[in-house]
Structure 1
Amino acid sequence: MKALLQRVSAARVEVAGEVVGQIGVGLLVLVAVEPDDNPASVDKLLHKLLNYRVFADEHGKMNLSLTAVDGGLLLVSQFTLAADTQSGLRPSFSRAAPPELGAQLFDYLVARASTVHPSVATGRFGADMQVHLVNDGPVTFMLQT
């Protein structure tokens, strides 16, 4: 799995003008499922998302996790993160999981996150989404499992 993690002061996802997911301070995470991913990959990614230390402590150092600051987690599926861009001028999506597997593992990620974290929101899998965010820092990391 690949995940683009962004520390935000606010973020929301809209589909056809309707807000379908929204958080205040927390993490906006764009998630791509790859063909070899499985529930263990999801569990590993979720552990990183909840515990990756990207929020400032009392000394201004990135030393606190999402769990420590009780922030929101906005999960958005984005298969384009799995694109192969090494050659040519058009991305290849052969490294992205088929839609059925992508939906299954993304749904599993959302379900697991919702059981262990109090504030979880999502986009809508496969929809044309507009993602609005205020990247705090900016702080952005690419995570892989």
Structure 2
Amino acid sequence: MRFVIQRVSESEVKVDGQVIGKIGKGFMVLIGVCDTDTREIADKMVKKMLGLRIFEDEEGKTNLSLDTVGGSLLLISQFTLYANCKKGNRPSFIEAGEPKMAEDMYEYIIGKCKEQVEVVERGRFGADMKVSLVNDGPFTIILDSEKL
């Protein structure tokens, strides 16, 4: 499982020109799932993400977590995080999770986050989405379950 976490001052996602998710201060997270991922892996990833202390305190040090600053989440499914570009110039996506399993895992992650974060917005699995954000910092963290 892979999360690309961007600390944002604002972010939104549109489908067919309509805003379906929008947050202010918080994390915009791209979520990639592979076939070997489990709920236990998702639990570890969510715990690590929500525990990240990457917001600045009063001294300007990255020392505060999402809950400490009252931040929100925008969670976007992103199978292309498992793109394999080793051969040729056209990426292969065979390492990405099978769609039904990946969607179930995405929904599970959203549910786990809603247990701990007041505002959790989301994209639409499998849709053509337009995501915009103001990356605050910029600050971007990549979490890979194989490296946790």
**If the length of structure 1 is used for normalisation, what is the TM-score?**
0.97
Unaligned runs of 5+ in 1: none
Deviation per CA, 1:14-44, whole angstroms, max 9, x where unpaired? Answer: 0001111110000000000011101011111
Structure 2 partner of 1:28: 28
Does structure 1 residue 44 correspond to structure 2 residue 44?
Answer: yes
Does structure 1 residue 76 correspond to structure 2 residue 76?
Answer: yes
Structure 2 partner of 1:99: 99
State the identity %: 46
What pairs up with 1:1-145 in 2 under 5 angstroms?
1-145=1-145
**If the length of structure 2 is used for normalisation, what is the TM-score?**
0.95
* Aligned equivalents of 1:116, 1:9: Cα separation in 2: 20
Deviation per CA, 1:87-141, whole angstroms, max 9, x where unpaired? Answer: 3211111110000111000000011111221110000000000001000011011
* Aligned equivalents of 2:112, 2:141: Cα separation in 1: 22
- Which secondary structure state, in structure 2, belongs to the residue aligned with residue 60 of structure 1? coil
Unaligned runs of 5+ in 2: none
Deviation per CA, 1:59-97, whole angstroms, max 9, x where unpaired? Answer: 111111111111011000000001112232111111100
29-38 vs 78-87, which moves further? 78-87
Instruction: Provide the aligned C-alpha RMSD in A.
Output: 0.8
Structure 1 segments of 4+ aligned residues over 3 angstroms from their partners: none
How many residues are treated as equivalent by the alignment? 145
* Aligned equivalents of 2:65, 2:134: Cα separation in 1: 18
